[in-house]
Amino acid sequence: MAVDLSQYLPILLFLGVALVLSSAFVVLPMIAARFTGAAKPDPAKLAEYECGFPAFEDSRAQFDVRFYLVAILFIIFDLEAAFLFPWAVSLREIGWTGWASMMVFLAELALGYVYAWKKGALEWE
């Protein structure tokens, strides 16, 4: 009983092409970085760009809880804006029920904002 290995040729070709392409996607950017000077460290390249001041503590230091609280509040109000756009676009189709439900949603968010403000969650020392 002879086994026909020619049936495996498309699979081997696919694996070969995948290996060549994945190697190229890894090696070619490194070669391009060497030729363009991206790998040469420079004080301007190594400068802080996110917060604007040099790091003064260990990178594993714990953050204040208020940082997380402000981040969560930002996400909440960002989601509010994400919900408002599709609501505004489809307001004619959803009618008064959609309008009333969005007003309830906005009232709940405003109530949460007032609560966070009264608790001092938005104050930074």
Gyration radius of the chain over CA positions? 28
- Does some domain include residue 125? no
Count of alpha carbons within 13 angstroms of residue 75, beta-carbon side:
5
- Does some domain include residue 21? yes
Range of the domain at 13: 5-119
C-alpha–C-alpha distance, residues 124 and 65, integer Å: 11
Indicate which CATH number applies to the domain containing 93: 1.20.58
Residue 120 pLDDT grade (very low, low, confident, very high; cuts 50, 70, 90) = confident
User: Is 90 exceeded by the pLDDT of residue 122?
Assistant: no
- Does some domain include residue 26? yes
The model's pTM: 0.45
The pLDDT of residue 50 is 64
- Does some domain include residue 124? no
Residue 55 or residue 8, greater confidence: 8
The total number of structural domains that make up the chain = 1
Task: Quote the strand ranges of the chain, DSSP E.
Answer: none
60-106 tens-digit pLDDT: 777 677 777 778 888 888 888 888 888 889 888 988 998 999 899 88
